[in-house]
Amino acid sequence: MTPSDVKATLSFSDGSPSIDLPLYKGSIGPDVIDIRKLYGQTGKFTYDPGFLSTASCQSTITYIDGDKGELLYRGYPIEQLATQCDFLDTCYLLLYGELPNEQKQKDFHKLVSEHTMVHEQMQFFLRGFRRDAHPMAVLTGLVGALSAFYHDSTDITNPKHRDIAAIRLIAKMPTLVAMAYKYGEGQPYVYPRNKLSYAGNFMRMMFATPCEDYEPNEVLVRAMDRIFILHADHEQNASTSTVRLCGSSGTNPFAAIAAGVACLWGPAHGGANEAALNMLEDIQRNGGVEKIGEFIKQVKDKNSSVKLMGFGHRVYKNYDPRAKLMRETCHEVLGALGLENDPLFKLAMSLEKIALEDEYFVARKLYPNVDFYSGIVQRAIGIPVSLFTAIFALARTVGWIAQLNEMIGDPEYKIGRPRQLFVGSPRRDVPPLAQR
């Protein structure tokens, strides 16, 4: 970051001495005011619940321009990566900062494919769950359990450990997600096949059975790969911030990623794709397009807790570029499957059109986000709704681990430890029991 020649001067109306705070410029995006010395110089904290105006770190990985609806991974626009690269190229880019050349691409694909199996003992963890356990509950447990098997790559101060742990996590997430799915289905696990592509291998582990050969549908494999690319990273979102904060204690990468999985599960975050599809199915069940007006009225009613799931975003105040690409993928997949008239897709497009013309959404700059269409694509591919967020976690693992490694690799990093505005009871003495 570059020191700006502009200073911020903080003055107080109670006559307390004012102080100058340095500003720093990034390569693109808003400048930051460095408040690291604020408490030491003024005895005051800043106050920013939800971190609406707070930069927690400096990063070189992902940049979002919320007003323009722009998303860059290491400077490359998501629209170009999603159409010209595959997910493993995107993983290489997020991890190492540049797209691989042909040789590096071959080496990286081989390296990842050689780490796709999990320890045979891992399957016994699944047996502790009910068959109808939510896949995110299973995945949170399985990812955390990985740390029990890889003591040779849990010292995050060792760059070699960080690198092998990153490869292991990226390589094993598809295997773990497929195992969680097969366990719920009561079907045998399918071992990874190293000669297949990353997305092709995942689709085979999900849908193959011992009873017949599995023939992948290349359109669906490509769609799955694009879904992975679109979900790979997204700067300091809630789950990435969780991974950074968790990892800042020096814990092992598997534990930090398990914390990210747990955070992503929430319906305000990665759980929104499951919630968005359930919302569409509810509207469909209760009358379909004719009922959209009534539903929108509920959403606008402050007394109802109904939200238009898959809409709105803390950063995007324009169309989420991933939602546009996801809608295109919807067309491709539904077309390939002869489902162009899929009622849910038509309902989603009608809902989007009506919402985008409604003052409530326009005034609040609420647009479709990545979760609005991703559920329709995954449902068409045959992914059960309850697995949508696990697939989001699979894809986001590379972003989490790239951000974690960036933090740990920064010699200035410290354990994260926010302060608070205390509004509770001042000091008081414990009364005897008879006086309580």
- Which are the catalytic amino acids? 313, 371
Nearer to ligand SDX, 148 or 268 (CB): 268
Residue with tokens 């998501």: 78
CB 3 within 8 A of CB 32: no
Q: Which of 98, 2, 25, 51 is nearest to 236 (CA)?
A: 51
> How far apart, in whole angstroms, are the C-alpha atoms of residue 196 and residue 243?
30
3-state SS class at 65 = strand
Nearer to ligand SDX, 1 or 268 (CB): 268
CB of 424 to ligand SDX, least distance (A): 25
CB of 18 to ligand SDX, least distance (A): 32
In which order are the strands placed within the sheet that holds 32-33? 2-10, 19-25, 32-33
Handedness of CA 72, 77, 80, 82 (dihedral sign): positive
CB of 191 to ligand SDX, least distance (A): 31
What are the φ and ψ backbone dihedral angles of 10, each rounded to 5 degrees? -105, 115
Nearer to ligand SDX, 118 or 309 (CB): 309
> How far apart, in whole angstroms, are the C-alpha atoms of residue 12 and residue 108?
56
Q: Are strands 62-65 and 70-73 parallel, antiparallel or unpaired?
A: antiparallel
Give me the residue whose beta carbon is nearest to ligand SDX: 312
Nearer to ligand SDX, 162 or 313 (CB): 313
Residue with tokens 């010209």: 84
CB of 372 to ligand SDX, least distance (A): 7
Nearer to ligand SDX, 25 or 269 (CB): 269
Q: Which residues pair with 212 in a beta bridge?
A: 209
> How far apart, in whole angstroms, are the C-alpha atoms of residue 52 and residue 351?
28
CB 365 within 8 A of CB 317: yes
Residues that bind ligand SDX (CB under 6 A): 234, 237, 268-270, 272, 299, 307-315, 364, 366, 369-371
